[in-house]
Structure 1
Amino acid sequence: MSIEVANESGVEVDEAEFAALGRFVLDTLHVHPRSELSIMFVDTTVMTELHVQWMDEPGPTDVLSFPMDELRPGREGEETPPGTLGDVVLCPEVAAQQAKVAGHTTAEELLLLTTHGILHLLGYDHAEPEEEKEMFALQRRLLLTFLAGR
């Protein structure tokens, strides 16, 4: 599993922890071990530009996902094709504001958002109530299991 973490945000993050989270999520969801994932942290200026360019929405957002090879989760014992999963782009400054409202740390918010972004890369969505229920339950289970194993 190749997981690249780049921090261009100016905010200190534990890059090794985010790589470990990415590896955990992809392993748990049986994504091919030769697949690639990129996680990038950017400042609000860059995130605002990306948000406007790709979503046609003003201002910065917390996380954006850019899928590449449209990989999907596998099943135990099932071989899935290797490929490039895509990019998860996060904005720590927006995450810090959300963390205050949610009552947890910025690091915890960023881990949640990273999990969320990876699930989007794997084809999960939350546009419909049933999709939201499935995605958020999986997101919660993955994150709590990862945190319990730290």
Structure 2
Amino acid sequence: MADPRQRGKAPRRAGGDGVPDVYCADEQDSHPVDVARWRDLAVAALLEQGVRGGCELSLFFVDETTISELNQEHMGKPGPTDVLSFPMDGLDVVAEGQGPGAVSRGPARPHPDPDDAPTMLGDVVVCPAVAHGQFAGHAGTYDDEIALLVVHGILHVLGFDHAVPSEAADMRSRERAILEAHHWHGPAPAGFRQEHDE
């Protein structure tokens, strides 16, 4: 069996120096979503990770019924979750528990080289109703929770994971750096947490 970490002889490149295209849609009506704001954060997160023009990502905000159906169909888990990521570059995805990014690239995968990014990066699906229900014990505010879920989902699409402590520390560090640079424009608030209560 071939090593799943090998991507072939010639890496796929996200062509050009431009800005990645992010399609963003609010397909729910239970909680307010500033589509332009979260699209801008998604673009900033991609740029921060070295992804440039010539590629696309979709960011959807959906209701609990829709995310429950996706969670059951793709993750084999009943009920709603906060965010799901669907990479389009052939990475295997496995369930990784409840919490931000209930999707993983699987163990023993190297972190991606941004130059290897495919044309279609993937989809990130966020459920504002779940985010609203958990923000107090997690990120601290509804806006901070949505921001964390958007960035977390994008990092999963790019191949990052939190299955083992070293990967989790790297992923959380990247999340915090992106949020401090592009969401808060300064240090994280004192009450911000990236881990769920157990």
Work out whether the TM-score is over 0.5.
Answer: yes
TM-score (norm 1): 0.89
Distance 1:104 1:18 in 2: 18
Identity percentage over the alignment? 42
- Considering fraction of residues, name the structure with more helix: 1
Q: Does 1:32 align with 2:68?
A: no
TM-score (norm 2): 0.69
Q: State the Cα RMSD in Å.
A: 1.9
Q: Give the CA deviation at 1:107.
A: 1.7
Q: Give the CA deviation at 1:82.
A: 5.1
Q: Does 1:9 align with 2:45?
A: no
Distance 1:52 1:80 in 2: 30
State the match for 2:119 in structure 1: 83
Label 1:58 to 1:65 Cα distance change in 2 as closer, same or farther (>3 A): same
User: Which moves more between the two structures, 58-67 or 11-20?
Assistant: 11-20
Tell me if structure 2 keeps the 8 A contact 1:32–1:80: no
Give, as a single letter, the amino acid of the residue that structure 2 aligns with 1:9.
Q
Structure 2: stretches of 5+ with no match in the other structure: 1-19, 92-111, 187-198
Alignment coverage as a number of residue pairs: 146
Q: How does 1:1-150 map to 2 (within 5 A)?
A: 1-10=20-29, 11-69=31-89, 72-74=112-114, 79-80=115-116, 83-102=119-138, 104-149=140-185
Q: Give the CA deviation at 1:3.
A: 0.6
Q: Give the CA deviation at 1:32.
A: 2.5
The Cα offsets for residues 4-29 of structure 1, whole Å up to 9 and x where unpaired, read as: 11111113211011111111011111
Give, as a single letter, the amino acid of the residue that structure 2 aligns with 1:92.
P
Q: Give the CA deviation at 1:101.
A: 1.9
Give, as a single letter, the amino acid of the residue that structure 2 aligns with 1:116.
H
